[in-house]
Chains A and B, each alone.
Chain A
Amino acid sequence: DAMVIQNPRYQVTQFGKPVTLSCSQTLNHNVMYWYQQKSSQAPKLLFHYYDKDFNNEADTPDNFQSRRPNTSFCFLDIRSPGLGDAAMYLCATSRPPSRGLAGGPRTDTQYFGPGTRLTVL
């Protein structure tokens, strides 16, 4: 089945120790997203890639970086994790906006992975 895979599902790191979270997809989607979801809160978009074009949200801290070496993989790097970075990190993919039949609305549903729960000690 085509899907979005995140590894690991649970990650423990130490305060200040760099950590990398991984996302891969078999959907061949052009767009990949990283969200941060803190406990009992809504997911918050950190950044997304449209093919190789990187789009950072204005309020994403510099501590968060991303790499997309190819269509299938995208990585989230946290350079110096703080206690406040403990959260669930969600990866999602979508096709780029494109019109449907007869010029209908653009359909670009996001498909989410299971998430990686990051604990910072």
Chain B
Amino acid sequence: AQSVTQLDSQVPVFEEAPVELRCNYSSSVSVYLFWYVQYPNQGLQLLLKYLSGSTLVKGINGFEAEFNKSQTSFHLRKPSVHISDTAEYFCAVSPVGAAGNKLTFGGGTRVLVKP
């Protein structure tokens, strides 16, 4: 079984400041890692994913994340946020090779960008 912990439930940040959202996971098998964003009253949109290869992954909207296997972390970063980045962000994992790609989500981090 897998579990995902997002250490911050809320992150307030000023516009144009950097932001880091922390994600740690636990799994007895290798996993794929994902970050999704959810805007109010909408579904989830994929920001980026790590499958293999380079541990630094670049996604949409200027986000990037770094996979650290020894620390079982997959932190999300953006060097300069916009008001439009206000949303909830979910880290998720799925076990490698699992039929149907079953995702386990963290509890979410709500980002509030202030002008």
Closest to B45 in A: A112
**Assembly CA distance A45 to B44 (angstroms):** 14
**Number of chain A interface residues as a range:** 20 to 34
**Assembly CA distance A117 to B94 (angstroms):** 26
Contact of A41 with B108 at beta-carbon distance under 8 Å, contacts A4-B43, A109-B49 already known: yes
**Number of chain B interface residues as a range:** 20 to 34
Q: List 23 A-B contacts (CB under 8 A).
A: A33-B100, A41-B107, A41-B108, A42-B90, A42-B106, A43-B90, A43-B105, A45-B102, A45-B103, A48-B102, A50-B99, A55-B100, A90-B43, A92-B44, A94-B101, A96-B99, A97-B99, A97-B101, A104-B51, A105-B32, A106-B51, A109-B34, A109-B101
8 Å CB contacts to B: which residues of A88-109?
90, 92, 94, 96-97, 104-109
Contact partner, B42, options A48, A96, A111, A114, Cβ 8 Å: A114
**Assembly CA distance A38 to B46 (angstroms):** 20
Contact partner, A43, options B44, B45, B94, Cβ 8 Å: B44
B72-115 interface bits toward A, Cβ cutoff 8 Å, 1 = contact, 0 = none: 00000000000000000010001011111111011110000000
Residues of chain B contacted by A115 (CB below 8 angstroms): 41-43
B54 at the interface (CB under 8 A from A): no
A104 touches B45 (CB 8 A): no
Residues of chain A contacted by B43 (CB below 8 angstroms): 4, 6, 90, 92, 112-115
B108 touches A31 (CB 8 A): no
8 Å CB contacts to A: which residues of B1-37?
32, 34, 36
B36 nearest CB across to chain A (Å) = 8
**Assembly CA distance A26 to B17 (angstroms):** 39
Closest to A115 in B: B43
